[in-house]
Chain A
Amino acid sequence: MRRISGERATRPCLRVPSARRGDEGLHQRDEASQKMSKQQPTQFINPETPGYVGFANLPNQVHRKSVKKGFEFTLMVVGESGLGKSTLINSLFLTDLYPERVIPGAAEKIERTVQIEASTVEIEERGVKLRLTVVDTPGYGDAINCRDCFKTIISYIDEQFERYLHDESGLNRRHIIDNRVHCCFYFISPFGHGLKPLDVAFMKAIHNKVNIVPVIAKADTLTLKERERLKKRILDEIEEHNIKIYHLPDAESDEDEDFKEQTRLLKASIPFSVVGSNQLIEAKGKKVRGRLYPWGVVEVENPEHNDFLKLRTMLITHMQDLQEVTQDLHYENFRSERLKRGGRKVENEDVNKDQILLEKEAELRRMQEMIARMQAQMQMQMQTGDGDGGALGHHV
């Protein structure tokens, strides 16, 4: 794990919405207690708001505790090779997650199956620590026959859930490491006319296990009109196939207008069309991250060029929500299914009840035989213990 620390003025810090109220409470409390200490140190009543207890300070305590504990987030990126997944991840987190990366040649691609590669990075900003794990899926969509593409990915997600369930049911629950996949960025190719059959099949297979955020990759190949058309097409197809993607929660009514407007804009831009780059290009007198073409410069952080900033804002302001949905919805679904199956690890999902019954009967018989054997042995021991007798030592 690498450690990247330091001030980064461009990145927004993690937002904990309820902290503001807590802060106010704290200030009030401080004011009040100062007044108290001067007048009546034993009474803790705030004269300004009668009946004020002070538990409005609780969110602030949660905030401090979680900042101390640090945050964990696991992000999975899925998409065909060459769609700019690694570049986007590097651009999002301003890091180089794949320093020794070697792109496999064509011959190697033919033999390869889908693999799972997880890399972890610890990022710190203004005292807030984030342990980010990025799970990459090289080989997805490469083969000529992609029917088995997503089996590896689904079994990885299930494995993480399984591990968490096991840890949660264990004796020592103090240091459970949460490696469950909180969010999956699914990269859609901008060259198609919408979703491909592989996209639909994959999303339907995992929409009950993980939060899906569809992303249109390499958005600089599309003109504005083409982009709008593609977005609408994708949303229509998602609805047509009943795919459940991650929906941003509506802003609470007591949030400020800016936040409400921001949420509204974010919701309207799904799926996000992004461009990733970590190269600094000189454009209009200042250095920006972008891609240099003979016909112009595409700026990564320009909202008119692409939705990169929106994607980053969404990820960061809703990181907590993504984790909550994973915990409350996907994990609970998995857990209830798992426990219903009776704690047996079933690999083949087509096992029907008759087979289970037969297996259980066979197991019962085996147990009974074993018990009978043990009983016979014990009897024999008792007999030999009593006396030599006529026992001929039946070996069972």
Chain B
Amino acid sequence: MDPLRRSPSPCLSSRPSSPSTPPCEMLGPVGIEAVLDQLKIKAMKMGFEFNIMVVGQSGLGKSTMVNTLFKVWKSNPPGLGVPPPQTLQLHSVTHVIEEKGVKLKLTVTDTPGFGDQINNDNCWDPILGYINEQYEQYLQEELLITRQRHIPDTRVHCCVYFVPPTGHCLRPLDIEFLQRLCQTVNVVPVIARADSLTMEEREAFRRRIQQNLRTHCINVYPQMCFDEDINDRILNSKLRDRIPFAVVGADQEHLVNGRCVLGRKTNWGIIEVENMAHCEFPLLRDLLIRSHLQDLKDITHNVHYENYRVIRLNESHLLPRGPGWVNLAPASPGQLTTPRPFKVCRGAHDDSDDEF
């Protein structure tokens, strides 16, 4: 690129002008910055999509948390009188929220019945199946000859996992689930109902959970390997130090010192949800919405979806068949193996890097 074709600067005279290139002052500014405005206008017209999944045992405040995050009051009235279903069910609710002209199509997938049974073996299979199904749908749309201009994106961008506040450490169920899901989707673990832990207990619990995650090689969002530059790393390291966030959800407002705050009122005080001294809900909100929403979508698209795509397209009958599998390749004779747990190959990420 010609170094002289820069945006107009006042001291043009100090630059020696080469005989072949005409001086910049005759051409005027290029106007590359205008691209940002165009992008913004387009984005606002198109709107954003965000798909979030909440997983955890019943009663940990998942629905309340979604209400508090996105302030969608009318959607999910907290299912208080509803007993957990016998088997795991998945249901998605979509809302369109608008703020200052920006439209967000938010889809929340809830998983009632997770971990509530006496025998919770393989209770993560329906969830993995659902996630892979969304990838499959997107893949099918992408492979069409005449594609839609904008493929509807139902892939799960973020999975928020609610850890019960036992105060001890991660349970075997938590570890099994996190190990499997971190390879397929961005997982953000949070300590649910954190108002049952004092500050010291909270810190100790957090450290133990972080240790458990390290011991079992569970890579939660923000993943260290996807930090692009030093700024990202600094920002994400601060977040990684605080994960899992200790959150409290509330959808009722109370008056505290003349202000109207969201909180829980008890006999011994009011727990303010948006007060950093009480709980870390603002951190979760900022992560999911204000700072890392686009990053979550990017990683889902560039890493997790690409992993899935590579496996599916290279598929021969020798590769493992995960849940939601459909035979793309023509049937060929050969040995069939027993299905192994759906593994992700690290190399796929490097491939996608090269492509871009």
Contact = CB atoms under 8 A, between A and B. Distances in A.
A296 B59 contact: no
Given A221-B193, A224-B266, 6 more contacts: A82-B166, A106-B170, A146-B118, A191-B60, A192-B58, A294-B277
A329 interface: no
Contacts of A106: 169-172, 174-175, 212, 215-216
Contact of B271 (A146, A233, A295): A295
Interface of A: 80-83, 103, 105-107, 109-110, 142-147, 149, 189-194, 196-198, 201, 218, 220-224, 229, 233, 291-299, 304-305
Contacts of B171: 81, 106, 109, 142
A193 B78 CA distance: 11
B265 A223 contact: yes
Contact of A82 (B121, B167, B265, B270): B167
Contacts of B271: 293, 295
Given A106-B216, A191-B60, A293 B269 contact: yes
Contacts of B59: 189, 191-193
Given A142-B172, A196-B116, A296-B269, A221 B195 contact: yes
| 7 A-B pairs with the lowest CB-CB distances in the bound complex, closest first | A82-B166, A296-B269, A296-B268, A295-B269, A192-B59, A221-B196, A191-B59
Interface in B48-69: 57-61
A191 B193 contact: yes
Contacts of A142: 171-172
B264 interface: yes
Interface string B95-122: 0000000000000000000001111110
Interface string B71-86: 0000000011111100
A298 B268 contact: yes
Contacts, number: 125
Contacts of B164: 82, 189, 191
B166 A83 contact: yes
17 contacts: A105-B208, A106-B170, A106-B212, A107-B215, A109-B172, A110-B175, A142-B171, A145-B119, A191-B193, A192-B58, A192-B84, A197-B117, A220-B266, A221-B165, A293-B269, A294-B199, A296-B268
A144 B176 contact: yes
Given A196-B116, A294-B278, A103 B169 contact: yes
B82 A295 contact: no
Given A105-B169, A106-B171, A295-B272, A193 B82 contact: yes
A220 B174 CA distance: 24
